[in-house]
Amino acid sequence: MRQPLPTNMFDELCPSSLNPIRFGDKWAALVIRCLDGGPRRFSELRVPLRRVTPKVLTGSLRALERDGLVARTVHPGRFAHVEYELTPLGRSMLAPIAAACAWTERHWDELLDARESYDAARRGG
């Protein structure tokens, strides 16, 4: 039995939420990280990605599938279900995503300061 994904995997203080480097859409890198440990059902992905609406998560999964990064498998039967997993191409994205997250963590304070300065200037104060 696989371990459940942690609910706080991407909390507000996670470097992933501040990362200015994008892989696909806004949520693609987070989905890829969730699938690092193996196949997951949609409901499992929703646990750490609770800030993502089901519609947007579905769109991200479809885009990742279209790009060949994620495989969608339908398990038929009485209790049919769908699982998503990384393809070899998708797995090759884990190292660049980890590097981007490490960079963000190293520059966390600078990024926050820059965003706060920008927002203050836009507000006129």
Query: Total structural domains in the chain?
Result: 1
pLDDT of residue 16: 54
Q: Is the pLDDT of residue 15 over 70?
A: no
pLDDT of residue 4: 80
Strands 40-41 and 81-86: antiparallel
Q: Is the pLDDT of residue 123 over 80?
A: yes
Here the CATH number for the domain that contains residue 32 is 1.10.10.10
Residue 22 domain-assigned (yes or no): yes
Q: Is the pLDDT of residue 105 over 80?
A: yes
Q: Which domain holds residue 52?
A: 15-123
Residue 7 domain-assigned (yes or no): no
Q: Which of 79, 61, 78 is nearest to 25 (CA)?
A: 61
Task: Please give the Cα distance from 96 to 102 (Å, whole number).
Answer: 10
- State which amino acid sits at residue 111: L
pTM: 0.77
Task: Please give the Cα distance from 98 to 77 (Å, whole number).
Answer: 37
Residue 26 domain-assigned (yes or no): yes
74-94 residue pLDDT tens: 999 998 999 999 999 999 999
